[in-house]
Chain A
Amino acid sequence: MSSLPVYSVRHSSALISEYFDDEVLVANLLEGLYYSLRFTATDVWKALDSGATMHQIESLIHQQYYTEGVDVPASLNNFIQQLQTHQLIVETATAPGAFILPPATPKKPFVEPDLTVHDDMQDLLALDPIHDVDGEEGWPVRK
């Protein structure tokens, strides 16, 4: 039985992800941030999104990448922390459990999984709430 924590991708109407051949892009429309995941990070994200446990993700990394001399649990923990900091995943009580390890393919060089954060959407999403209303007519007035 696993003693490792279990994580799942956070589901929200404001959080979207798009899969491309060698990249996953995740956007948080409330925060106005989007994230690029490439190389190893792409596989980790896809595995999390498919309900993989941390044990299964470790196995996947060893299966898909040359990991000799790599501290895979430490790399994964670091990446998981980044995903948690940006509220892209949540810790859950039970493993979603639907993940199946894919067939082995030729191994690729291991690249430290990492999030690249883009904030150029942020200015466009600045809220402009209504504060003051004309008491007589009931329509907003200039602040």
Chain B
Amino acid sequence: MTDQTYCARVFDALAGQLYESYWFLVTEKVVEVRFVMPCTTAVTAFYSKAIQHLACLPQPADLIIWVAEKASSDLTLPRPFWDWTNSNGYGRILAFDEVLYYANYDITSHTFTLLDRASNQALVWTRNVTEQPEWTRSFPFRSLWFDWLRPQGFLFIHAGAVGLPDGRGVLLTGRGGSGKSTSTLACLDSSLLYAGDDFLAVHPATQRVYSLYNVAKLEAGQFARFPQLQPLVYNKATMLTEKGQVFMADHFPEKIINTLHIEAMLLPRFTGQPDTTLRVATTADGWRALVPSTVGLLHSTGDYAHAVADFARPLPTFWLETGTDLAQIPARIINLLQASL
């Protein structure tokens, strides 16, 4: 068997399945997600909750994603023809020609992903969603979308973004624990809108950023600064071992904006002082905050690191030295955006 015949057999098998469809606008592309029936509500919730803010009306899709759970559907996949040792160590299956396909097996979530670029169809086949770590719920389809959108001129970056209702915004970036989520959530009580606090898609040619996921994530200890959010945590049962997740679309749908034009990049850094200040940072500081964690989380290549660096280089970059008075965080950001007019 070859990659081509394997892929053909998979999508032939899917063509005969009953399914339930949902549509989403991802960047500027329409994605139809087809849940293979029978399918539990746990499966549909697992794959759609974090992207519910991107829902759109049924329409012709740029990408069709079939989602099937082994535990609940009757779908049987052809036996793998490849040698599992022929992978890149992160689950990418090298027996598939990467120009034509993306094939990956994520061992943490036991999920097989197969993208056929020619037909713009993909399969996400998972063993059992109830076995998956809760944190994987916060970024469904991330590796698939990344691989599909990259040749179309989009980058995925490890950053948050907030902005004004007029569509101008800032990136908030830094490695885990730097304060991206704290800074983003501090903006909820202001006129600033939320586009994301962890992963975003960007289109460097237009300097636009696109929301992917509406999940705000905080360590248990950080909720002391946001007591009003504590009752809204979705995964209370796993809070001791994982970050707490608050789905913004469930509780603050009016605070979400799906795209922003990026005017500046902010690097949060908690000072412990009362006040929040903005201080000019170097482009090298911006690289350190954005590139290593983006490249590391996406397990991407040197070319991709250059592309992310080139996107960030022209952006005015500032340290956002955050203080204990949370209201000052959005105030500084609003001042910056108004000054950039």
Q: Is the CB of B87 within 8 A of A139?
A: no
Q: Is the CB of B292 within 8 A of A18?
A: no
Chain A residues, CB < 8 A from B84: 130, 133, 140
Contact between chains at B79 and A20 (CB < 8 Å) = no
CB distance from A125 to the nearest CB of B (A): 5
Nearest opposing residue in chain A for B305, CB measure = A16
Q: Does B284 interact with chain A (Cβ within 8 Å)?
A: yes
The residues of B that contact A129 with a CB separation of less than 8 Å are: 85, 87, 89, 107
Q: How many A-B residue pairs have CB under 8 A?
A: 89
B297 adjacent to chain A (CB < 8 Å): yes
Interface of B (DSSP majority class): mixed
Main secondary structure of the interface of A (DSSP, over half): loop
- Which of A22-30, A49-57, A95-103 faces chain B? A22-30
- The stretch of A59-67, A83-91, A116-124 that contacts the partner chain: A116-124
A14 touches B302 (CB 8 A): yes
A127 contacts the other chain (CB 8 A) = yes
Given A27-B295, A121-B295, check contact A16 B284 (CB 8 Å).
no
Q: How far is the CB of A107 from chain B (nearest CB, A)?
A: 23
Chain A 62-77 interface residues, beta-carbon cutoff 8 Å to B = none
**Cβ-defined contact, A127 with B80, below 8 A:** no
**A125 and B299 contacting across the interface, CB-CB below 8 Å:** yes
Picked from A20, A21, A120, the residue with its CB within 8 Å of the CB of B292 is: A120
Name the interface residues of B104-153: CB closer than 8 Å to any CB of A. 105, 107-108, 110, 112, 127
A27 to B89, CA, bound (A): 19
Of chain B, the residue at the smallest CB distance from A23 is B284
Instruction: Please state if B89 and A18 are interface contacts (CB–CB under 8 Å).
Output: no
Interface presence of B95 (CB below 8 A): no
Complex Cα distance, B153 from A84, in Å, reads 36
Interface residues of B, count at CB 8 A: 33
Q: Which of B80-102 contact A (CB under 8 A)?
A: 80, 84-85, 87, 89-91
Whether B296 and A125, one on each chain, are in contact in the complex, defined by CB atoms closer than 8 angstroms, is yes
Q: In this assembly, does A3 line the interface, its C-beta being within 8 Å of a C-beta of chain B?
A: no
Q: Please indicate which of the listed interface residues B79, B112, B282, B296 has the most CB atoms of chain A within 10 Å of its own CB.
A: B296
In the assembled complex, the Cα of A21 lies from the Cα of B287 at a distance in Å of 13
Pair A130/B295 contact, Cβ less than 8 Å: no
Instruction: Check A23 against B282 for contact (C-beta < 8 Å).
Output: yes
Q: Mark A38-54, 1 if CB is under 8 A from B, else 0.
A: 00000000000000000
Interface centre among B90, B283, B292 (most CB of A within 10 A): B292
With contact pairs A13-B302, A120-B292, A121-B296 given, residues A137 and B79 touching in the complex (Cβ less than 8 Å): yes
Q: What's the least CB distance linking B55 to chain A, in Å?
A: 31
Q: Which residues of B contact A (CB under 8 A)?
A: 79-80, 84-85, 87, 89-91, 105, 107-108, 110, 112, 127, 175, 282-284, 287-288, 291-293, 295-297, 299, 301-303, 305-306, 309
Known: A120-B175, A125-B299, A128-B108. 6 other contacts (CB 8 A): A16-B306, A29-B305, A124-B296, A128-B91, A130-B85, A133-B84
Name A's B-contacting residues (CB within 8 A).
Answer: 12-16, 18, 20-23, 25, 27, 29, 32, 34, 36, 118, 120-121, 123-125, 127-130, 133, 137-140, 142
Q: Pick 22 A–B contacts, CB within 8 A, sort by A.
A: A14-B301, A18-B309, A21-B282, A23-B282, A23-B284, A27-B291, A27-B302, A29-B295, A29-B305, A34-B292, A118-B288, A118-B292, A120-B292, A123-B296, A124-B293, A124-B297, A127-B89, A128-B89, A128-B91, A128-B107, A130-B84, A130-B85
